[in-house]
Amino acid sequence: MDWLGRAKIRFTHAASPLKLERRDGESTDLLQVCEQSIPPCNLNPLLFNGHLQTLWATVRQDAPPIYYKRRVFEADNRKYHGTFAVDFVVNPFAEVDNFLPPRTVFYTDDEFQAVGSDDTKPQLIVLHGMTGGSYEPYLRHCIALLREGWSICVVNSRGCAGSKITSEVLYNARATWDFRQVVAWFKLKFPNRPLFGLGFSLGANMLTNYCGEEGERCLLKAAVVCSNPFNLEVVSRALLRTYIGKFAYLRAMGETVKEFTQNNEREIKLYTDIDYDLIMNITTLTEFDTEVHCKTWGYPTVFSYYRDASSSDSVLAIKIPFLALHAVDDPIAVDEAIPYEEFSKNPHTILCTTSLGGHLGWFEPNGDRWHAKAVRNFLNKFAFDIEFDHKSQDSDYRMKSSKESMSFDPMRRKVNT
């Protein structure tokens, strides 16, 4: 146990991290930027292990108030047709919509028509965790520290945060298509804004896959992920083999996805072939994924779904500055699922692990969240201090045999876009 909550911090990185240049003309690299950005990790000593940090994250729901205006987007990809909701951070307002999360209302058509600018303000696009939304405390702590000088929005997964499902296309652990559309929309509407990504838990897995799928074409200037499960098969098997994993965490997540199903009962019955009554009788997340995602997306087994959706290989294909924050005592996104060696191969990526923190916990003694400060510092560095054009360093991760007869493509399962 770390003494009085003082967690150890470790960086995993390539032997030669990505070379960068500061706006004052001085040379630096990605590792130095991360080392300068990451604050000491002094957590609440009463929450002295990952289970307590994770439990407290479900109990402690207070966070800085963030106000949003929502716009529903129509998917521009026929294969992934349907709608999804994006919540834009705005100044406080007095309106109330009882059908949406707190402090959230819809944009009027006239208001949204006026959206767009030639300004150079940095734009952050956020992905939440499983069945969550823009209201989540772990997310609002980060947004609160970036309000000054930034424009921010949260992409809500389909059916989450009071949004409606409008087709048979549901989101899954590899659902990068809606995020990709939002990034492209921002590039069109705000052509001068540098774009950044931030993802949490399952949203972190999605964001990692997106960055890997886009590779050198990625429109983001940099990205941060927090508590990414990375290898979903390893995570699932690790949870299934322990009593607390199977009967506490997987059951708790099973209840969460059942609640998601209940909130979308009418739409699920209208648009999909999912057996609603069967879902109401499942007990774990694994059972839900077997009945929903395997049958919806055509996976023969739940573990084939987990392997396909995992983002561990995607780390090798990332070509933008990329920081992953992870607690090694995370009882959900377990340490054995972290692709340490992949991070050590890619100069564009840095893995920062803390010895304490749990799953999206990182509670400090005063109730603040350590990860929010780390996220703020890193993103501010790239928004206001670092010049980066995506071409400062290149690398090739295809692993070839001595006879040049085989090669490894980390994105062989890339989603069709």
What pLDDT, on a 0 to 100 scale, did the predictor assign at position 164?
95
What pLDDT, on a 0 to 100 scale, did the predictor assign at position 399?
47
CA distance 170 to 191: 30
What pLDDT, on a 0 to 100 scale, did the predictor assign at position 188?
97
For the chain, the C-alpha Rg in angstroms (whole number) is 21
Per the annotation, the verdict on 330 as an active-site residue is: yes
Return the closest-CA partner of residue 71 out of 114, 122, 33: 114
Q: Which of 51, 326, 359, 371 is catalytic?
A: 359
**Would 38 be classed as within a structural domain?**
yes
* CATH number where 214 lies: 3.40.50.1820
What tokens does 404 get?
């040049």
Per the annotation, the verdict on 97 as an active-site residue is: no
What pLDDT, on a 0 to 100 scale, did the predictor assign at position 254?
97
Q: In the block, which residue shows the tokens 């803390």?
A: 354
Q: Which domain holds residue 339?
A: 3-231+310-386
What pLDDT, on a 0 to 100 scale, did the predictor assign at position 417?
58
What pLDDT, on a 0 to 100 scale, did the predictor assign at position 237?
98
What pLDDT, on a 0 to 100 scale, did the predictor assign at position 401?
44
**Would 276 be classed as within a structural domain?**
no
- Strand pairing partners for 151? 123
**Would 391 be classed as within a structural domain?**
no
Per the annotation, the verdict on 326 as an active-site residue is: no
Q: Which of 134, 201, 227, 310 is catalytic?
A: 201
Please give the tally of structural domains in the chain: 1
CA dihedral 236, 241, 247, 253 (to 10 degrees): -10
Q: Which of 29, 157, 330, 371 is catalytic?
A: 330
Dihedral (CA of 357, 361, 365, 369) sign:
positive
- The pTM (predicted TM-score) of the whole model is 0.95
Collect the ranges in the chain with pLDDT lower than 50: 392, 394-395, 397, 399-403
Specify burial of residue 277 (Cβ count, 10 A radius: 0-12, 13-18, 19+): exposed
From the CB of residue 26, how many other CB atoms can be counted at a distance below 10 Å? 9
